[in-house]
Amino acid sequence: MKSSYFHGGNHREAARRYGLSPREILDFSANVNPWANSLGIERIVRANLKEIYHYPDPQCTELIKQISQYLGVGRENILAGNGSTELMYLAARALLPRRALVFAPTFFEYERAIKACGGELKFLFLRESQGFSINIQKIIRTTEDVEAVFICNPNNPTGTFFLKGELLELVKITEERKISLILDESYLDFKHSGESLVREAQETRYLLVLRSFTKFFALAGLRLGYGVGGRCLIEKMAHFKEPWTVNCLAQAAGIYLLRNEENIKEIREAVNKETEFLFGQLSRITGLKPYPPEANFILIRIETELSSSKLQEDLAKRGILIRDCSNFTGLNDKFFRVAVRKREENLRLIKALREAI
Amino acid sequence: MKSSYFHGGNHREAARRYGLSPREILDFSANVNPWANSLGIERIVRANLKEIYHYPDPQCTELIKQISQYLGVGRENILAGNGSTELMYLAARALLPRRALVFAPTFFEYERAIKACGGELKFLFLRESQGFSINIQKIIRTTEDVEAVFICNPNNPTGTFFLKGELLELVKITEERKISLILDESYLDFKHSGESLVREAQETRYLLVLRSFTKFFALAGLRLGYGVGGRCLIEKMAHFKEPWTVNCLAQAAGIYLLRNEENIKEIREAVNKETEFLFGQLSRITGLKPYPPEANFILIRIETELSSSKLQEDLAKRGILIRDCSNFTGLNDKFFRVAVRKREENLRLIKALREAI
């Protein structure tokens, strides 16, 4: 399974390679929110430990009830999965697009999911000269010969972001043209929830919105995500779904997290404040060009002779893991990505980067 | 996802239906080993709780190292998954059999996995008049027009069992004919480990052996299983595999369980002893015909006017959940299945059955 090498977050592999203990590594390579450990998730997992001896509810009945209340969408419009990744693959299997549009650069698993089902890829390259942003009309023009479009909003790793109004223009066209639009909102919890298209997705036939507990809620290791779409599409995907992919502890944690909404706003503010701070600090390092962030990570271009793989190696030796972005289609060995962590850790990153550059 | 209704183990749904708390239900419907809670799994999960904030290792490196040592097979011959169910679906996707042979009755998910990939089913009916057992030569004759064969050994729900020598005759033929053989050993931990074909699988091209932590180790809620096969087949399946399906706690628990082999034999003996006891008691109830068990569950025929669904309902009202087997292809509304639990619970079952029949 080569795909793992295409991702951040493998701090165990990095630890092995550099002779460190995994706990010594400060991981900026995975976009997981370090504030989430104040949410009481461990307590809930501990309280539900006896559940490990029972099959998980394959329908995720209680979890879906909670998601439904949280989002204000119908239960029949929701399908839970082993991270949003399961839903991406499920969508590809259910829809079998012969040709699908993906951004370059973007999250790698869309490409892999499409190819695994025999689909062909059409890349829409985001231009660095335009700060990796792209006009929604340009996307619409590019959808003419595809059966599906995968969009990550905010986009990983560029951080570029479409407002709801822009996306609704695209949805109008994809619905008319019967093109499936898979809109990955895995990072949207860091933005204002009013920008989400989950409510609109209920009334559509071709739009699937993906949400994740991996980033904002930091449940990366437990695996939880879900999809929201029209009833027809959700039923179609459920037909292909394996029964027990969402384990019992992930279900319990998900229910708990969405019941305690009041913490979410507070944490969002803390992350966004620290994101601004880190962006400001990175901007002051000569030889680095950070792109303005719209989520909890920052894409950075190296403007010196140094390559991203060399920089990754230099920092790893000091116990700091960044995401070398050279293997993203559309980027090269001058790009890396860092997640936003807490102040003290961000200062360690800044210091290490200053010394390495 | 209708498939959930085809399985046992949904004690939460039963609790809702009969107005009980899930903890009040004594679940004989899922074949999960109640002795496993003495293995210290909860302690290990608790010790690894902080891992939930990190992506799981997509390669399951440490887990596979441990499985490799435990089984005495090469690491490159092993693929870990979200229960053995993930591997069944993965095998179907990688092999795309146009026609596949499955027993009737057997575990329902083979059928669903094959159909999800557009494959056709050929059922080999196990005859009640022959105690649901079948000659290996009969199977060999039936494989002529199929591209894959799915066998559960011991078979769920009939409990019928092939010795290693018999299966090796079949493997010889399937290898010659290039027919994929998916041999599900999910219940083999209850038998002598010498009966497993995992070592032989390494040297084959068309044999995939599936193992599970769901039954013997009772990790039903955490989700862990794996497949063992020739390097070529494992690589092919890995190509289709989604990256993070095995959560971090399942990986930690799996590593721990296989490191502590000495407990396994002891627990196996306890289960087998109690299985004999329960079988003996069931045999003494007029109106019930239990089939000799080869794992931790017993298939039973009702020889009175009562239907299996009525019996299930009667017992559920008393907080006892059995598996109505009427929806197994090849069975009817006279069959039900019970898992073997501890003495006191088995006595409660026996008492309730005596009263209901």
The residue among B224, B208, B227, B225 whose CA lies nearest residue B150 is B208
- Dump pLDDT digits (tens) for B85-97: 999 999 999 999 9
Do residue B242 and residue A82 have CB atoms under 8 angstroms apart? Answer: yes
Q: pLDDT band at B260, cuts 50/70/90? A: confident
How confident is the model at residue A12, as a pLDDT? 83
Q: pLDDT band at B56, cuts 50/70/90? A: very high
Look up residue A269 and give its two tokens: 């503010």
3-state percent helix, strand, coil for chain A, nearest multiple of 5: 50, 15, 35
In the numeric block, the tokens 């190696």 are attached to: A313
| List of chain A residues whose C-beta atoms are within 8 Å of the C-beta of residue B32 | 53-55
Judge whether B100 and B148 are in contact, CB under 8 Å. Answer: yes
- Dump pLDDT digits (tens) for B279-331: 999 999 999 999 999 999 999 999 999 999 999 999 999 999 999 999 999 99
How confident is the model at residue B6, as a pLDDT? 62
pLDDT at A182 over 90: yes
Nearest Cβ partner for A1 among B4, B54, B243: B243
For A58, the closest chain B residue by CA position comes to B4
Nearest Cβ partner for B221 among A1, A10, A55: A55
State how far the Cα of A121 lies from the Cα of A100, in Å rounded to an integer. Answer: 5
The residue among B249, B81, B290, B245 whose CA lies nearest residue A89 is B245
State how far the Cα of B287 lies from the Cα of B271, in Å rounded to an integer. Answer: 25
How confident is the model at residue A125, as a pLDDT? 97
State how far the Cα of A72 lies from the Cα of A1, in Å rounded to an integer. Answer: 38
- Dump pLDDT digits (tens) for B171-224: 999 999 999 999 999 999 999 889 999 999 999 999 999 999 999 999 999 999
Helix, coil or strand: residue A124: strand
How confident is the model at residue B7, as a pLDDT? 81
State how far the Cα of B211 lies from the Cα of B198, in Å rounded to an integer. Answer: 9
* Mean predicted confidence (pLDDT) in A182-190: 97
| End-to-end C-alpha distance for chain A, whole angstroms | 33
Q: pLDDT band at A20, cuts 50/70/90? A: confident
For B9, the closest chain A residue by CA position comes to A55
- Dump pLDDT digits (tens) for B103-118: 999 999 999 999 999 9
The residue among B180, B173, B200, B212 whose CA lies nearest residue B83 is B212
- Dump pLDDT digits (tens) for B16-41: 888 888 888 899 999 999 999 999 99
Nearest Cβ partner for A242 among B12, B37, B85: B85
| List of chain A residues whose C-beta atoms are within 8 Å of the C-beta of residue B42 | 49-50, 52
Name residue A239's amino acid.
H
Q: pLDDT band at A21, cuts 50/70/90? A: confident
Q: pLDDT band at A6, cuts 50/70/90? A: low
| List of chain A residues whose C-beta atoms are within 8 Å of the C-beta of residue B80 | none
Q: Could you tell me which residues come within 8 angstroms of residue B266 by beta carbon, excluding any fewer than 6 positions away?
A: none
Q: pLDDT band at A1, cuts 50/70/90? A: very low
